Structure 1
Amino acid sequence: MRFAAASAVAGLLALGLPAAASAAPPAQCANPSGTYGGAVPWGQRLIDPARIWPLTRGDGQLVAVIGTGVDAQNGQFAPGQLEGGAGTERSDCDGRGTIAAGIVAAQPDPSTTFAGVAPGAHLLPIRYTASDGGDPGALAGAIDTAADRHASVILVAVPAASDSPALSDAVSRARSRGAVVVSAASATQQGARTYPTATSGVLAVGSVNPAGEPVQTEAGDHVGVAAPGAELVSTSAGAGGTVAHRWPVTDPGLAAAYVAGVAALVRAYHPELSGDQVVTRLTLTAHRPPTGTHDPRLGWGVLDAYAAVSSTLPADVPGPGAVPPPATAPAVLPAAAPAPRPSDVTAGTIALAGVVLAAAAGVTVAAVRRARRRGWRPSRFTP
């Protein structure tokens, strides 16, 4: 979402609509809509992180949020949850970085139904741009900073509009250190791509609305999965120490924040997996598009967070684009299937007994008919 100073832009923001990109930083910083007190936001219901928290809350994971910085003064971030140090930025005039960070790891709070996906994770806020279409060289430096700080998940909340060798090299270095690099497919012009979203090895994320329809323009073979990106609720910059939110927010770039949060949960629950293996798990367990195959805007389907964390899969299982023959293809088996109800067991036992009795009766009737035709003589005589 684009935050700017003009009153017309503010009106667009109130509707959750994107404003025109500007090369200059906004003259007025983002402000909260208030404290969200409505029903659990639809995107949060779809991901359903509370179902996963008994397994993991993402503890021990460091998620880098690369974009416009993150406002550490929002009361839904725990003390010490946002790490500081060289290269970090704990303020955010634009506001998009704070929205993305809240989706990843905002703490549950009694004043609101909104909560982040992985509240046990720590956040590494890195600013490389104050507007859209940031310099790819600056973005490369931000990714290097995240890798140097050992971020296990690197979320590019505001991708660049162009590529560069430096950016590709930075992604390669981060992946070689085991990081999962997640970036939003958020180009606004037909046929355009963002970077490192379209870079090999990056998990490119499309976005959907509450009806499950894709909402972003960017499309292609590089899109891996899709997640909520319209009519969202999340933490707001400018909260001044309170729990405050922006809503409704429509920005395809924010779908990547949901995926980054789930990636942190997967990494915490499966610490033995490499970054690339985490990406495979996320794409393999996604809800397939209606076609059953890859979709240029939905990728391999909409994120299924519980299946991604709990499914029983070999670590080296191939991704959905390279599935082995059906006889050897691994099954995706989410954990904790409920046991059959006693009534179901009883019904099944009765049904099975009925089948057995019916078969026995059939054998008996056939034997009697054959014996009657022989005049009840034995079927074989001894000479």
Structure 2
Amino acid sequence: MRRALTAAFVSVLLGGFPAVATASPSATCADPVGVYPGEVPWGQRLLDPARIWPLTTGAGQLVAVVGTGVDTRNAQFGRGQVVAARDIGDVGAEPGTDCDGRGTIAAGIVAAQANPATTFAGVAPGAKILPVRYPHAGGDGEPDRLAEAIKAAVAARAGVILVAVPVNSGSAALTGAVAEARERGSVVISPAAGTNGAPTYPAATPGALAVGSLDRAGATVGQEAGDHLGIAAPGADLVSTSAGGHGVVAHRWPLTDPGLAAAYVAGAAALVRAYHPALSPEQVVTRLVLTANRPPNGDHDPKRGWGTLDAYAAVTAQIPADAPAPGLGAGAGKPARVVPAAAAAVAPGDGLAGGVTIGALGFAAAAGIAVAAVRRGRARGWQPGRRMP
């Protein structure tokens, strides 16, 4: 039955795409490598989102991708899936374009739809994408512009806000924008993409979920470290959609960028919000972190947070509505234990992705394993979760 359901969902997601062609190169903007022809990318196998699609594809969710824009012409985005961009200030780009390319890569990991030309697909292909473009060059005003971008995403009723291009310093305006987003029902997710251990923002801003990055062997990729990291996800040797495809399926690979790990978590957050629409932002973050596969030492790790994202457990685990929000930092206290719901059996080969065992990445994992994060008291001031109207 599950095999039939998965096949049905994949069949729906595969329909109605233009033919694949070779994209013409550009001398100044991001260009695709081509159409990815290889096996299912390892990050996709690790999350195995096709196993979740019979339950939810993220439909009804709006994910804001804050950064450089999204190239709407890439054929792995469905018609109308990428909504009109919100621009903060003069971004110097035409609507529906992404010369830089980072926004299109992040958006593909979040929500690219399955296509028969490639094995690559996004985590939540039923979700819609809202590009929010802001000037991201250096300068003292950069955090404030990012704050405006986050506020624009909140105003557009984005339930998940992925900051694809973070900044190197914080500001009162940025702190206020993240707080406002949570109060109004949005989950803010940001990569821990700093160098030499230095923090980036809003990863280090209170209220944002900071995401560390790993390679396929389980080694950390990013250099940013600290008590603020909450969770880790794939960030090396990745595949995703490329800008500059000129209306066809187009990809870039291999991609190694610690900033991309947050896109996997944003896709998982969209699945969680779609399947549990009443959850508040705090409850979504709690669910993602409590179900993560713990680091080898079992404690908070300054580069991995509380462990590696387990998207299936995050969607399906039975967690009490009043489960305490996870604490961040090794000194926050001893972790409690939460047992995810037993997973329904899935025949080998079901879906797009064959599962990669977390043990292969050096993390403890098994069906129904107890995973944990710290208790620091019940979350206060929860707001109802938001869905796209």
Q: Could you say which TM-score interval applies, normalised by the shorter chain?
A: 0.7 to 0.9
After superposition, the Cα gap between the structure-2 partners of 1:228 and 1:325, relative to the gap in structure 1 and judged at 3 Å, is closer
After superposition, the Cα gap between the structure-2 partners of 1:245 and 1:131, relative to the gap in structure 1 and judged at 3 Å, is farther
Matches within 5 A, 1:34-49: 34-49=34-49
CA distance in 1, matches of 2:85, 2:29: 24
Residue equivalent to 1:274: 280
Residue equivalent to 1:194: 200
Give how far 1:27 is off: 7.7
Name which structure has the greater RCO, CA cutoff 8 Å, separation 6+.
Answer: 2
Residue equivalent to 1:297: 303
After superposition, the Cα gap between the structure-2 partners of 1:324 and 1:55, relative to the gap in structure 1 and judged at 3 Å, is farther
Q: Give yes or no for the alignment of 1:118 onto 2:110.
A: no
* 1:277-330 deviation digits (Å, cap 9, x = unpaired): 00011011000001101000000001001000000111221134399999xx66
After superposition, the Cα gap between the structure-2 partners of 1:336 and 1:288, relative to the gap in structure 1 and judged at 3 Å, is closer
Give how far 1:334 is off: 2.7
Give how far 1:338 is off: 4.5
After superposition, the Cα gap between the structure-2 partners of 1:162 and 1:37, relative to the gap in structure 1 and judged at 3 Å, is same
Matches within 5 A, 1:343-354: none
Higher helix share: 1
**Counterpart AA for 2:245:** A
After superposition, the Cα gap between the structure-2 partners of 1:262 and 1:201, relative to the gap in structure 1 and judged at 3 Å, is same
CA distance in 1, matches of 2:109, 2:143: 25
Runs of at least 5 residues in structure 1 that lack an aligned partner in the other structure: 1-25, 340-383
CA distance in 1, matches of 2:315, 2:28: 41
| TM-score calculated relative to the size of structure 1 | 0.78
Contact preservation (8 Å) 1:207, 1:229: yes
Give how far 1:150 is off: 0.4
Q: Give yes or no for the alignment of 1:214 onto 2:220.
A: yes
CA distance in 2, matches of 1:325, 1:40: 38
2:182 equivalent among 172, 175, 178: 175
Contact preservation (8 Å) 1:168, 1:199: yes
**Counterpart AA for 2:285:** V
1:163 equivalent among 159, 170, 173: 170
Residue equivalent to 1:152: 159
Aligned length: 311
CA distance in 2, matches of 1:107, 1:60: 15
Give how far 1:137 is off: 1.0
- Runs of 4+ off more than 4 Å: 130-134, 322-326
RMSD: 2.1
After superposition, the Cα gap between the structure-2 partners of 1:85 and 1:126, relative to the gap in structure 1 and judged at 3 Å, is closer
Residue equivalent to 2:382: none
After superposition, the Cα gap between the structure-2 partners of 1:242 and 1:201, relative to the gap in structure 1 and judged at 3 Å, is same
**Counterpart AA for 2:320:** P
Residue equivalent to 1:257: 263
* 1:319-373 deviation digits (Å, cap 9, x = unpaired): 34399999xx66322343459xxxxxxxxxxxxxxxxxxxxxxxxxxxxxxxxxx
Q: Secondary structure at the match of 1:65?
A: strand
Runs of at least 5 residues in structure 2 that lack an aligned partner in the other structure: 1-25, 89-94, 347-389
**Counterpart AA for 2:129:** L
Q: Give yes or no for the alignment of 1:228 onto 2:234.
A: yes
**Counterpart AA for 1:58:** G
Q: Secondary structure at the match of 2:104?
A: helix
CA distance in 2, matches of 1:128, 1:244: 25
Percent pairwise identity: 66
CA distance in 1, matches of 2:217, 2:337: 30
| TM-score calculated relative to the size of structure 2 | 0.76
CA distance in 1, matches of 2:194, 2:318: 35
